[in-house]
A and B are shown apart, each in its own frame.
Chain A
Amino acid sequence: MPKPLIGLAAGVALLAALPLAVPFMTFVVTLAVAKGFAALGVALLLRAGLISLGHAMYFAIGAYTTAFLMQKTGITDFAILVAASIIVATLAGLAFGAFLVRYRAIFFAMLNLAVSMVIYALCSKLYGVTGGTDGLRVGVPTVFAWVPEKAAFDTFLLYATLGLMLVLGWLGHRYLKSPLGHALAAVHTNEVRLEYLGVSAWSTLLTAYGISAGLAGLGGALSAMAIGHVLPEFAFWTESGHLVLTAVLGGVGGVAGPFIGSIFLELVHVVAVGVAAEAWNLIIGVALICVIFFLPRGLFGLIEGRRGKTGGTDL
């Protein structure tokens, strides 16, 4: 078995075993991996040199889809909720993306921010639909015919989330290695040359944008189930900033990066809450700047660098 696979297996085993020792970790790990999906979505776009300051909106759209379906239509099946959230977020991503991916650089960042702030404002304003600033409650979903207790569902959710991470991580890896994935990186390095080769930058980016929105939506749906409540804050611009931060911290060179970043952040948070709750933003702000200065390929770059690989993607 090649070395990276051993590392992967060890990491996943550790994540799976941790909650057995510390029950509270079920929640932390689930949330970390769920947010990792959204960060992975952001990382895909970063590979194309596009920075989105609005991706928290797809996270929120996924979360609200789950909450809304459960509360207003009575659909409680886990698989349907997750699938519906991904579909709604992807469709929203394709709809907004069709217009957004025409822009680059700061204009892309800013337009994403603009759209996300409208979504944020709508979530807090459409009192009747979204519950306003109180948000919506998310009950305990069912899994096919199984109607679990909250605690049992939490355990199920953890392992389902880890399973999804492996499956989607592998698919994401395949995607990045596919021509479409390579075209994505080519948009970053030389967009015009790409078009001379007969590849449409617009459709390449729109595909990536749709996928990234879907991933964020999945993260939102899983988080909604773990937390049991959805709120407009999910879509606030600082949340989008945190997603980018997570992706960069972990590294955008491979699919593992955003997950590593997310898990690392959540674990540091658990420790920091007890010791330095006041300085949490300060700590991650300093960490972010240090990563930009010294680790352009993120935490993932550390592991990768050890294997002597070169040519990984940095910012």
Chain B
Amino acid sequence: MRLPTLRSLLLATALAAAPSAHAADKPASLGLGVFTFLSGPAAAYGLPGKQGAELIIEQINAEGGIGGVPVAATFVDEAQGAEGVISEYRRLAESDSVEAMIAALSSGNCLALSPLATQLQMPTIAWNCDTHQLFLKDASSYYFRPNGNTVAEFVAYVVYFLEQHPDVQRVAIINPDYAFGHDAASIVKAALAALKPDVEIVAELFPKLGAATYQTEISRLSASRPDVIFSNLWGGDLENFVRQATPRGLFRQSTVVLALGETVLQSTDLPEGTIVGVLGDGWWRSPDAQRIGKAEAFAEAYEEKYGSYPVFPTMKMANSILVLKAAYEKAIEANGGEWPSQEQVAEALKGLTVETMTGDVTLREDNDGVVDQVIGTVGSEGDLPSIADMARFDGAALLPPAGEDPIAWIETLTPAFLEGQPKPGSYQ
């Protein structure tokens, strides 16, 4: 055997991936690359996203697809790390089987993919990642994020718990040890310093992503006696933390703010009074979602198919695909009914405003989305997951102007800023 394996393999690969002609003719199907976490602790968050994509695509196709073309998704697991994610992105893009991407969940992967989207001229929608660093460094004409970013999200949480607990003195933070957690911590600290300067940060912990045990962290939090504990743990980590902290009385001792708490409403017994919410407006039972009238049917169909109600990553994913659909429809119209090129789709995404299942989203000039924030408190339980005492914060009011240093912007806020903000319970 003298290398025949290697050679035939090379040949086979070469033949299999021979490039096909690229044209803006109406394709047989609209290929969509969808990136999310399908394994590892983050899958607890990524899988509902994947299922959201499957269901919304099924529904879109049942109604005739986008511009008469059915959508076909290829899913890629983000748990393989940036190297694998990048090479899969390139492989999909260069094989011409895919016209647009929904990528990605994690901020690290979004940061790695956004320059690639521009290089490969691939319209890409960041369906979940929300780091405010994404569009600070370099503008991309093909990368869009129709979601909130971390600044709007976590300033909203600070405003909410300051309104609900005006006497707060001691605040502790426990966030995952990577950019998302560190960014959130600096935003929370900056917002507290600006809005209520006498608050003391008594503990700041950053457990490793995917940590199995939080017992020592829980002791440390408990020993520092905080009035409020803020956390943006998520996925399996959040569930793990809640399950370990509940029996140890942490939720009785302090008011806990779980920025991604809506995702574990169904899987854990969150104590009453815990502040939870979604990132963005993707709460499928919010008053606006009911007014628009699509989310409930979607949730019922989701429950029937997957056995539990959607969580906000599901809604974010479905909404992102609806944004892409709207962009295609706009591009087709602008193109006189012809199938648009990828450049035209990217063009159509610029400045687009779409009514999703849970509210309006507008892509502003730096391609970042302006979305409202929905926050509430765990109330008495019913059959369906529920959030009480809700407030809906205007996304535009909480977002620093495009290109401005977000932390510096937060520092310009004053305690008077609180007065203009919606109060807990005002959103009904």
Taking the complex as a whole, does A directly touch B, i.e. does some CB pair lie under 8 Å apart?
A: yes
Q: A134 near B111 (CB under 8 angstroms)?
A: yes
User: Which residues of A lie under 8 Å from residue B108 when comparing CB positions?
Assistant: 133-135, 231
Is A150 in contact with B119, judged by CB distance below 8 angstroms? yes
Measured between alpha carbons, how far is A139 from B119 in the docked complex, in Å?
A: 11
A233 to B80, CA, bound (A): 10
Chain A residue nearest in CB terms to B77: A277
Q: How many A-B residue pairs have CB under 8 A?
A: 104
Q: Which 6 A-B pairs have the closest CB atoms?
A: A133-B178, A229-B112, A134-B179, A150-B119, A24-B94, A134-B108
Interface residues of A (CB under 8 A from B): 7, 11, 14, 18, 21-25, 27-28, 31, 124-125, 127, 131-135, 137, 139, 149-151, 223, 227-229, 231, 233, 260, 263-264, 267-268, 270-271, 273, 277, 302-303, 306
Which label, helix, strand, loop or mixed, suits the secondary structure of the A interface? Answer: helix
B178 contacts which of A14, A134, A264 (Cβ < 8 Å)?
A: A134
Q: Specify which of B1, B77, B91, B209 is in contact with A24 (CB 8 Å cutoff).
A: B91
Stretch at the interface among B8-16, B276-284, B370-378: B8-16
Bound: A228/B111 CA distance, A: 10
A139 to B13 alpha-carbon distance, docked (Å): 29
The answer for the CA separation of A54 and B258 in the assembled complex, in Å, is 38
CA of A227 to CA of B82 in the docked complex: distance in angstroms? 8
Is the CB of B219 closer than 8 A to any CB of chain A? no
Given A25-B13, A228-B115, A277-B77, A133-B6 contact (CB < 8 Å) = no
Task: Give min CB distance, B183 to chain A, whole Å.
Answer: 10
Q: Determine if B179 and A228 form an interchain contact, defined as CB atoms under 8 angstroms apart.
A: no
What is the distance, in angstroms, from B18's C-beta to the closest C-beta of chain A?
7
Query: Is there an interface contact between B177 and A18, defined as CB atoms closer than 8 Å?
Result: no
Q: How far does the Cβ of B337 sit from chain A's closest Cβ, in whole Å? A: 32
> A137 near B115 (CB under 8 angstroms)?
yes
User: Once bound together, how far apart are the Cα atoms of A132 and B17, in whole Å?
Assistant: 36
Contact of B107 among A11, A134, A137, A149 (CB under 8 A): A134
Q: Pull 11 A–B residue pairs with CB atoms less than 8 Å apart, ordered by A.
A: A22-B19, A24-B17, A24-B95, A27-B87, A131-B179, A133-B178, A134-B131, A134-B178, A228-B112, A268-B9, A302-B2
**Complex Cα–Cα for A68 and B177 (A):** 21
Contacts of B87 in A (CB 8 A): 27-28, 31, 227
Q: Mark B114-148 against chain A: 1 for CB-CB distance below 8 A, else 0.
A: 01100100000000000100000100000000000
Contacts of A150 in B (CB 8 A): 115, 119
CA distance A223 to B87 in the complex (A): 12
Q: Which positions in B face A, CB cutoff 8 Å?
A: 1-3, 6-7, 9-10, 12-14, 17-19, 77, 81-83, 86-88, 90-91, 94-95, 107-108, 111-112, 115-116, 119, 131, 137, 177-179, 182, 209
Q: State whether B14 touches A22 (Cβ < 8 A).
A: yes
Q: A28-B87, A134-B107 are in contact. Are A267 and B94 (CB under 8 A)?
A: no
Contact B13 A228 (CB under 8 A): no
Starting from the known contacts A134-B111, A263-B6, 12 additional A-B residue pairs (CB-CB under 8 Å) come to A124-B178, A125-B177, A131-B179, A132-B177, A134-B108, A135-B112, A223-B83, A229-B86, A229-B111, A268-B9, A271-B13, A273-B88
CB pair A231–B9 under 8 Å, yes or no, is no
Q: Contact check: which of A22, A31, A127, A267 meets B18 at CB < 8 Å?
A: A22
Interface residue from B17, B116, B177 paired with A124 (Cβ < 8 Å): B177
Assembly CA distance A151 to B119 (angstroms): 8
Bound together, the chains give a CA A270 to CA B119 distance in angstroms of: 22
Q: Once the chains bind, are A228 and B6 in contact (CB under 8 Å)? A: no
A residues in contact with B112, CB < 8 Å: 135, 137, 227-229
